[in-house]
């Protein structure tokens, strides 16, 4: 399988891990951008779709079994009063058997996803069961359209149950085929042979099952109360819960009117939860996966272009005494390694912004095309269903589908045929969630763009902001030019929109001076880190940073928590809120270093709650990398990015110490340190994790290593004291 640039990703990954061992969950997320999208669909999306549509197919099977498949209808008579013709007993028995088999297949899939039934047993049962149900329904509908036809044909029609059987057969075949692809992918070891449902996926599947059960049960209840045909009651329940309300069916009895209020209230809330879960899965999980893949492809394309044009010198680490090679401009000459890394970081940010905009518009275009296909295609089917009874034109179908999609539901034209009413239920289950996803995607592009444009115009006209007018004007021109003008202005991440993905940062001149001072101090601290420990920069704890005033203040801030008048923890919370820039130095004492780690873990944990997800500046990244043993000023830890993919045995970050200590009492580093680049495949900005999530995991991991090291040292000290006491005791006894 080839991917961007013609590289065979599968072969790289299999060569690196011939045993096919499962990666840790953390590394699986980090390598998300290396996994081709089609295998993600096969491993995650297809089982979720099958688990959701499988119960829908079973609901249609119930409808196909609920009533006979034929009705006696005289042209010009009331279609709703057409009497049913009893089906042969063999048709009913086969129909009931296929429904039972389908329910067993659904249960096997759910048990497999909850780890209660093995993959090797559950998947064959699910696939074979759904295929048997599909074949049975196809055979029955084919038989019904042949030998069961009664002459004259103009006086007999197929009931809604017949059409529900067709829809059920199509869905069974679809979900079974999806699971075949999933099964084959697992058998060929493209992903593990198990499915672990996330809470959102489990919620969606359970909500779908409960909603269908609620709809069918409500239809049975109201059909008995109002004297409706059961399948007409199913159509009414769907129209009610989808808030369309055509008005062709409505409760007429006092009991029915009294019960419809709680029934509709609970049903509409349940439907909203289902649509919300679909939106969350499609927009959130799909967005992260798609964005990771698009960033990876754009990264490789950009690297190839830079190499081809001879502008890849900025990607080469600058060792001590060297200068930047193949400099694109004179401005870049004389850069330090820290400054080069910052430019590399900004280059990666540009890639992210470009792909983010492309992904948003791509998602909007896909959802819009899907919505248009359901709108226009559904209109054609409704026209074919209703033309013999009401003489609908294609425009009537378009109008009817539009008022249904938008839940306007005028009720001036409604389906009266059995095919039309049954197809509306099937069509609405697909079209209305698609409409919700389209509105959400449009909110990230078109709607957000209109709102941004309105706000930008207001800030330079009738509602000026607190910023200087010149800055507001530059901001406005940058938005309307789609980032072409004033592209060098300092920006910060904001929610995305059509007119740009960022806004000017509201910094005062003093803030800028503080930022420059912070950069200078951070570079000085990085350089001191490299110079003081050139051979082993990744030890458990041997921080080679000097103590100065800034460091002393930093330590005082961290250790003052125990003396805070409001008790422990209060100072940490206040410091977390008020800090504007990262500290510059690390302490020499392990206890103080642990306090800093705990402080930063609490701060990053708070960042996880921010929406949109927080994106850190380069200086913040440099600080957090120092905390986990990285040095942005050390060229020996960095490498030039390439289009070659990272293999499974490569460590995402540098080497880790083992559980032993060397002769000096320091932690050994036995694993190979893999150089990395901000625009390389091992960059922390790649993969499927948010930046705060990535940093938090590394800080917690580092904190655990330090605590384990301290415990070992304490045990060694106690053992040494015990040996000395024992030796002194033996010496005393010898003297006696």
pLDDT at position 557 over 80: no
The secondary structure element, H or E, covering residue 715 is helix 691-735
pLDDT band (50, 70, 90) for residue 48 = confident
pLDDT at residue 503, as a whole number = 38
The secondary structure element, H or E, covering residue 546 is none
How many angstroms separate the CA atoms of 486 and 729, rounded?
80
402-427 per-position pLDDT tens digit: 999 988 999 999 999 999 999 999 99
Mean pLDDT, range 366-395, rounded to an integer: 93
pLDDT at position 163 over 70: yes
How many angstroms separate the CA atoms of 236 and 215, rounded?
10
**Phi, psi for residue 735 in degrees, rounded to 5:** -65, -40
Mean pLDDT, range 280-287, rounded to an integer: 64
> Percent of the chain, pLDDT > 70?
68
450-459 per-position pLDDT tens digit: 777 788 788 8
pLDDT at position 499 over 50: no
Contact 214, 271 (CB under 8 A): no
606-651 per-position pLDDT tens digit: 998 887 788 898 989 999 998 888 888 888 888 787 765 544 444 4
Ranked by mean pLDDT, which of 149-158, 280-289, 469-478 comes out on top?
A: 469-478
How large is the C-alpha radius of gyration of the chain? 33
pLDDT at residue 734, as a whole number = 44
pLDDT at position 353 over 50: yes
pLDDT at position 17 over 70: no
Mean pLDDT, range 365-377, rounded to an integer: 91
722: helix, coil or strand?
helix
More confident residue, 488 or 409: 409
What integer best gives the mean pLDDT of the chain?
Answer: 75
- The pair of three-digit structure tokens given for residue 677, joined into one six-digit string: 């680049």
pTM for this prediction: 0.71
pLDDT band (50, 70, 90) for residue 577 = very low
Mean pLDDT, range 208-225, rounded to an integer: 94
pLDDT at position 3 over 50: no
**Cα-based angle 599, 603, 604 (whole degrees, multiple of 5):** 120
- DSSP state string for 625-683: HHHTT--TT-GGGB----SSPPPTTS-SSS--EEEEE-TTSPEEE-SPP--B-TTSTT-
Which of 163-172, 274-283, 321-330, 558-567 shows the lowest per-residue confidence on average (mean pLDDT)? Answer: 558-567
pLDDT at position 13 over 70: no
More confident residue, 235 or 713: 235
Which of 238-242, 369-373, 521-525 shows the lowest per-residue confidence on average (mean pLDDT)? Answer: 521-525
Mean pLDDT, range 41-63, rounded to an integer: 86
Which of 47-56, 233-242, 256-265, 420-429 shows the lowest per-residue confidence on average (mean pLDDT)? Answer: 47-56
**Phi, psi for residue 731 in degrees, rounded to 5:** -65, -40
Among candidate residues 105, 106, 128, 109, the one with its CA nearest the CA of residue 117: 109
């Amino acid at each position: 399988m080839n991917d961007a640039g013609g590289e065979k990703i599968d072969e790289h990954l299999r060569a690196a891990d011939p045993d096919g061992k499962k990666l840790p969950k953390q590394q699986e997320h980090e390598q998300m951008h290396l996994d081709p999208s089609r295998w993600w669909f096969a491993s995650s999306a297809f089982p979720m779709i099958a688990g959701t549509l499988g119960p829908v197919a079973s609901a249609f099977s119930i409808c196909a079994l609920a009533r006979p498949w034929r009705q006696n209808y005289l042209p010009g008579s009331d279609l709703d009063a057409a009497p049913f013709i009893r089906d042969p007993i063999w048709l009913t028995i086969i129909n009931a058997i296929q429904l039972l088999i389908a329910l067993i297949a659904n249960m096997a899939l759910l048990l497999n996803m909850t780890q209660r039934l093995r993959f090797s047993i559950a998947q064959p049962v699910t696939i074979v069961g759904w295929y048997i149900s599909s074949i049975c329904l196809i055979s029955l509908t084919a038989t019904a359209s042949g030998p069961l036809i009664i002459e004259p044909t103009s006086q007999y029609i197929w009931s809604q149950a017949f059409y529900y059987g067709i829809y059920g057969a199509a869905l069974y075949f679809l979900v079974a085929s999806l699971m075949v692809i999933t099964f084959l992918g697992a058998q060929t070891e493209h992903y593990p042979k198990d499915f672990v449902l996330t809470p959102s996926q489990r919620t969606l599947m359970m909500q779908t099952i409960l909603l269908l059960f609620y709809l069918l049960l409500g239809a049975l209840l109201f059909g008995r109360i109002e004297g409706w045909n059961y399948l007409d009651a199913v159509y009414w329940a769907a129209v009610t819960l989808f808030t369309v309300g055509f008005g062709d069916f409505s409760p007429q009895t006092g009991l029915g009117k009294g019960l419809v209020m709680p029934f509709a209230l609970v049903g509409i809330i349940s439907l909203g939860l289902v649509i919300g879960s679909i939106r969350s899965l499609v927009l959130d999980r799909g967005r992260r996966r798609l964005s990771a893949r698009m960033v990876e492809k754009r990264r490789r394309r950009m690297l190839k272009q830079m190499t081809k044009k001879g502008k890849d010198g900025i990607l080469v680490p600058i060792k001590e005494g060297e200068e930047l090679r193949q400099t694109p401009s004179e401005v870049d000459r004389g850069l330090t390694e820290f400054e080069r890394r910052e430019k590399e970081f900004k280059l990666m940010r540009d890639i992210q912004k470009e792909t983010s905009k492309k992904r948003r518009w791509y998602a909007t275009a896909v959802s819009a095309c899907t919505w248009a296909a359901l709108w226009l295609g559904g209109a054609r089917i409704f026209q074919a269903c209703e033309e013999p009874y009401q003489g609908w034109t294609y425009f009537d179908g378009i109008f009817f589908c539009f008022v249904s999609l938008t839940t306007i539901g005028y009720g001036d034209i409604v389906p009266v045929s059995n095919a039309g009413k049954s197809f509306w239920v099937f069509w609405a289950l697909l079209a209305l969630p698609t409409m919700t996803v389209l509105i959400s995607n449009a909110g990230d592009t078109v709607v957000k763009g209109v709102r941004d444009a309105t706000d930008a115009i207001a800030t330079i006209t009738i509602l000026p902001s607190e910023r200087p007018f010149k800055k507001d004007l530059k901001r406005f021109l940058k938005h309307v030019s789609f980032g072409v003008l004033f592209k060098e202005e300092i920006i910060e991440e904001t929610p995305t929109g059509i007119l740009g993905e960022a806004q000017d940062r509201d910094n005062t001149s003093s803030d800028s001076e503080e930022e420059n001072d912070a950069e200078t101090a951070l570079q000085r601290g990085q350089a001191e880190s490299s110079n003081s420990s050139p051979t082993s920069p990744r030890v458990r704890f041997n921080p080679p940073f000097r103590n100065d005033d800034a460091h002393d203040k930093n330590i005082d801030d961290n250790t003052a928590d125990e003396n805070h008048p409001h008790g422990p923890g209060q100072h940490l919370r206040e410091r977390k809120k008020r800090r504007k820039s990262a500290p510059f130095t690390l302490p020499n004492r392990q206890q103080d270093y642990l306090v800093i780690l705990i402080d930063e873990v609490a701060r990053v944990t708070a960042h996880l709650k921010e929406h949109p997800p927080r994106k850190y500046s380069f200086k913040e990244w440099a600080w957090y990398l120092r905390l986990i043993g990285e040095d942005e000023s050390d060229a020996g830890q960095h490498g030039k990015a390439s289009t070659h993919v990272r293999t499974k045995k490569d460590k995402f970050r540098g080497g880790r110490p083992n559980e032993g200590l060397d002769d000096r009492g320091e932690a050994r580093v036995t694993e190979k340190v893999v150089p990395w680049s901000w625009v390389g495949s091992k960059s922390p900005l790649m993969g499927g994790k948010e930046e705060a999530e990535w940093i938090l995991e590394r800080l917690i991991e580092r904190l655990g290593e330090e605590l384990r090291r301290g415990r070992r040292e304490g045990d060694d000290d106690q053992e040494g004291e015990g040996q000395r006491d024992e030796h002194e005791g033996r010496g005393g006894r010898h003297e006696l």
